[in-house]
Copies of this chain bind each other. A is one copy, B any other.
């Protein structure tokens, strides 16, 4: 009863054909006669055979795996992106393999060694802070790469992104339409592309609307709840405070509002806040968050689809960019100034 897992030879023996025929019946049924096919499938059922994917992959010189490089698995922002990736990859026959690039054990060399060893068929990178030179130097030995959400400026990898600049501008214009003339911005970390593009959109909108750019009103965070709370403390310490604040992430917006509430400030009564991302909690926050929606699941799904096309040699080889539109979701955290 404790026999080894059956292999293709066992099936062949039971079916009375060669292992080549079994292989064909499995992966290319139309190459085989009806009778043979039936016999093979019967033998598969009888033996309880399951293909050994490693052997197939070794032979076919592919891995059937996509590696996703996540900057911080603990950050729930990425969960829906991962869900989108999985949703497309799994039915297409690809395993999804995740690597947290910010783990202590994961210095760059280890990540690349891992990638080389693993020989993934493709790579989805959600971390725009990987060193460009390293990536480009290895481009020749890396499988196809698609960036999603983040990317590396000046390097040409395909990517699936949103219009961050437009999103920021929409947020600022919304505050302006509500009547705000003094607008500040809680930013992500300066090294992040998203920070730069959203900052760019913010400043462009300010200029377009004839509003002043006041450097003291631009506070640096890191997209986290904590950093939003810290920004609130700096906002409180300001001599003259903006009446409208655009936060570059919903998490920072929540942290910001929460911290203000501790000292009796209320949103949107004392200051209007617009977030970015449209994470689920936003709708249930108090006040419900006005924010810029980005389609996280779709971004993941599109990145996976794009990558798989490339792996299968379908999509063009040229570097391409898919840019999703964003939209304003009006809720309660932004209102006309008193």
Is A135 in contact with chain B by the CB < 8 A criterion? no
Report chain B residues within 8 Å CB of A134. Answer: none
With A96-B97, A98-B98, A286-B261: A54-B50 Cβ-Cβ less than 8 Å: no
Is A18 in contact with chain B by the CB < 8 A criterion? no
Contacting pair B86 A79 (CB below 8 A): no
With A73-B83, A90-B105, A103-B87: A119-B284 Cβ-Cβ less than 8 Å: no
Is A210 in contact with chain B by the CB < 8 A criterion? no
Contact of A53 among B51, B117, B229 (CB under 8 A): B117
Report the bound CA distance from A298 to B297 in whole Å.
Answer: 27
A residues 281-320 in Cβ contact with B at 8 Å: 281, 283-286, 288, 297
Is A166 in contact with chain B by the CB < 8 A criterion? no
Contacting pair A79 B80 (CB below 8 A): no
Report chain B residues within 8 Å CB of A98. Answer: 82, 86, 96-98
Contacting pair B258 A117 (CB below 8 A): no
Contacting pair B57 A54 (CB below 8 A): yes
With A63-B54, A258-B284: A100-B83 Cβ-Cβ less than 8 Å: yes
Report chain B residues within 8 Å CB of A80. Answer: 73-74
Q: How often does this chain occur in the complex, in copies?
A: 2
Report the bound CA distance from A106 to B106 in whole Å.
Answer: 31
Report chain B residues within 8 Å CB of A51. Answer: 117
Is A133 in contact with chain B by the CB < 8 A criterion? no
Contact of A117 among B50, B63, B82, B141 (CB under 8 A): B50
Closest B residue to A102 using CB positions: B83
Q: How far is the CB of A56 from chain B (nearest CB, A)?
A: 9
Q: Residues 48-71 of chain A: 1 if any B CB is under 8 Å from the residue's CB, otherwise 0?
A: 101111110110000101000000
Contacting pair B74 A116 (CB below 8 A): no
Q: How far is the CB of A284 from chain B (nearest CB, A)?
A: 4
Report the bound CA distance from A138 to B196 in whole Å.
Answer: 52
Contact of A118 among B48, B55, B95 (CB under 8 A): B95
Is A280 in contact with chain B by the CB < 8 A criterion? yes
Contacting pair B86 A99 (CB below 8 A): yes
Is A255 in contact with chain B by the CB < 8 A criterion? yes
Q: Residues 170-200 of chain A: 1 if any B CB is under 8 Å from the residue's CB, otherwise 0?
A: 0000000000000000000000000000000
Contact of A116 among B50, B73, B79 (CB under 8 A): B50
With A90-B103, A90-B105: A225-B79 Cβ-Cβ less than 8 Å: no
A sample of 6 cross-chain residue pairs with beta-carbon separation below 8 angstroms, ordered by A number, consists of A52-B119, A54-B57, A87-B100, A96-B98, A225-B283, A228-B284
